[in-house]
A and B are shown apart, each in its own frame.
Chain A
Amino acid sequence: MVSKKQERAMSKESILNAIRKVKPEKVELPEIPDFHRESSGTLADFIKTVEGVGSKVVLEKELKDINQAVQNLFPAATIIASPLEKVQSTIDLKKIQSPHELEKVDVAVLKAQLGVAENGALWLSEQDLGIRVLPFITQHLIILLDSTTLVNTMHEAYQKIRIDEAGFGLFIAGPSKTADIEQSLVIGAQGARSLTIFIKPSESN
């Protein structure tokens, strides 16, 4: 009798062999050209895009103190979670045993590694999240972005990041949303209900 394990190995071999038998003649892998565009206006583009998908933008020069800003935005928040030292968290993420303990988080404050002007996406990886589920389970999300990290397109973004630098990484491009009921856009589906981006302008601004 063949064991399940052997059967699996057989499936692997049979699939690969089937492919080898019928796969098309070799096609060359195309080069991705440099789509780099004029970088002027990048920050303006970025802000336009993210506001277009329902995120809020706050320029950091307008806020003196980050904790005060969080407080002003969400005065009713009782549980604030952040892996960032400068943010006053009400819970210590290092002491969390199970992701379920984050069930009641009101606001999470995170920092993105980079932002993409063409679509407003922000890259964060596991170490930027503290706990993987945090940006989803929280009711509201604040992400800090240094505008010097902005790139124009996804091509540039994938050149800069390493998608496997941690076990998990993601692009976030707005608050969670759905249009599954008659195509009406509703913000706040299963993930965070709002996204606010605190932008630190580059020195020259």
Chain B
Amino acid sequence: MSQHAQKAAEFITNQERMKWHDESLWFVRTKRDKATHGIPEWEQLRELGSQIKNHTLSNLDQYLEEFEKNALQNGVQVHWAANAAEHNRIVHEILARQEVQRIVKSKSMLTEECGLNEFLTEKGIEVVDTDLGERIIQLREEPPSHIVMPAIHLKKEEIGELFHQKLNTEKGASDPKYLTESARQHLREKFLSAQAALTGVNFAIAETGGVVVCTNEGNADMGVHLCPVQIHSMGIEKVLPKAEHLGVFTRLLARSATGQPITIFTSHYHRPKPEGEMHIIIVDNGRTAQLGREDFRNSLKCIRCGACMNTCPIYRRSGGHSYGYTVPGPIGSILTPGIDLKKYSDLPFASTLCGSCSDVCPVKINIHEQLYRWRQIISEEGHLPSSKKQGMRIAARVLSKSTTYKFGGKMARWALRAFPRFFIYNRLNVWGKNRELPEAPKQSFQEWYQKNRKEP
């Protein structure tokens, strides 16, 4: 079995939990739908978002240079990092110069990708994640399972037990309000005693040389404004040409992510605070390579809203940890093969290709098409997971002959109606796991069409 399939199999052994996970995410998806239906120009906004990103990627070098120039003028120190190691080194140098012993961080998938926490911890610096979900998984010493809701895989009782052990909350207490309040007290103390704050970046504006960070908890700002040193780490793809483009993206982001009309805080940082230091680190770490892959470059348009995860039938039923990468779900499955084709060769198969991800994506990334394209490449390069090989061989034979295809279809429709469920959901048929098949129609579309077609 491939890695993803194996971990997913573990996840679904607890049926009740899987159902709960599935429903939690579907709930977020329905909130997203409701929020978008209130905006008559929603589809136009998605198209704009997509085009602005396409334009920016086609001039990325110029916009980055313009961004740097304006940021420097604002008194910001700008750094460039070709890869994760260089990024981590730069952060450490900034901290070492100021003899920082504790750093507070807000959510940043980029620093997860770079393994910054482990790196700094090894150097003896205390790193505190301050988004509640991130703090929970940090205390549990595990990676996030979702990019917007990092602890979505956990039950409140588990968090209660964790807090009891780590934060001394009452034994057995699991009320979210009580737990959140305890975390608030715990984190306040951390904010007040940290010397540096690090945030991710949602958008960087070339025209003004500033960065924009969106949060609901206010944790990014608590850190940034209390600490003398502020650091913002961004991938090269985060830049936008002008301030007016924020109008499009702030309308798209939160509605797609959680169904909110906008995040509670949308913070625009342009200059260091009085007597403070402000750093921006611009990171490549494989992004220029992705830009060079024509079929996959538009994955760089991603604004990390998480909508494709919430809607994905596989993600919802297999959990974020089954993907084995910082960014899970459909978008993760098209980013990872570019990082290590062999290691992640099973991820593009962790999909039904239903296309729901592409339908909800606020910047119109053709996710399911890219998944399919990766499958082709993986198969050409001989990295196909073994469980897929046999079926593919048969499929190739059947699909190449239209008569066998038609006959096979007839047989399958008959089989779906005639055989008991066990036959389809047996252990040999891995596809049947946690999938209910639709009721089979008596006719194929072709047959129906033939019969119902009116003669011209």
Residues of A within 8 A of B (CB): 4, 8, 11-12, 14-16, 18-30, 32-33, 35, 49, 53, 99-100, 103, 116, 118-121, 131-133, 136-137, 153-159, 162-164, 166-184, 186, 188-192
Say whether, besides A26-B59, A32-B247, A191-B265, A11 and B80 are in contact (CB < 8 Å).
yes
Q: Which residues of A contact B181 (CB under 8 A)?
A: 188
Q: Which residues of A contact B246 (CB under 8 A)?
A: 154, 158, 163
A24 to chain B, nearest CB (A): 5
Q: Are A173 and B263 in contact (CB under 8 A)?
A: yes
Interface assignment of B369: CB less than 8 Å from any CB of chain A: no
Q: Are B243 and A168 in contact (CB under 8 A)?
A: no
A173 to chain B, nearest CB (A): 5
Q: How far is the CA of A17 from the CA of B326 in the complex (A)?
A: 28
Q: Are A19 and B80 in contact (CB under 8 A)?
A: no
Q: Are B61 and A163 in contact (CB under 8 A)?
A: no
Q: Quick one: which of B47, B177, B209 contacts A186, CB cutoff 8 A?
A: B177
Q: Quick one: which of A14, A33, A121, A188 contacts B184, CB cutoff 8 A?
A: A188
Q: Are B247 and A158 in contact (CB under 8 A)?
A: yes
Say whether, besides A23-B57, A154-B262, A164 and B52 are in contact (CB < 8 Å).
no
Q: How far is the CA of A181 from the CA of B154 in the complex (A)?
A: 8
16 contacts between A and B (CB under 8 A): A27-B51, A28-B51, A32-B247, A35-B41, A53-B264, A163-B268, A164-B208, A170-B266, A171-B266, A173-B266, A176-B264, A177-B217, A180-B180, A183-B152, A190-B187, A192-B218
Q: Are B247 and A157 in contact (CB under 8 A)?
A: yes
B164 to chain A, nearest CB (A): 14
Q: Are A136 and B225 in contact (CB under 8 A)?
A: yes
**What are the interface flags for B51-64 relative to A under an 8 Å C-beta threshold, 1 for contact and 0 otherwise?**
11011011111001
Residues of B within 8 A of A (CB): 24, 27-28, 39, 41, 44, 47-48, 51-52, 54-55, 57-61, 64-65, 68, 74, 79-82, 86, 90, 93, 130-133, 136, 149-152, 154-156, 159, 176-177, 179-181, 184, 187-188, 191-192, 205, 208-210, 216-219, 221-222, 224-226, 236, 241, 243-248, 250-251, 258, 260-273, 282, 284, 288-289, 291-292, 294, 297
Q: How far is the CA of A154 from the CA of B245 in the complex (A)?
A: 10
A130 to chain B, nearest CB (A): 12
Q: Quick one: which of A33, A99, A167 contacts B270, CB cutoff 8 A?
A: A167
Q: Are A189 and B273 in contact (CB under 8 A)?
A: no
Residue of B nearest to A19 (CB): B61
Q: Which residues of A contact B271 (CB under 8 A)?
A: 166-168
Q: Which residues of A contact B247 (CB under 8 A)?
A: 32, 153-159
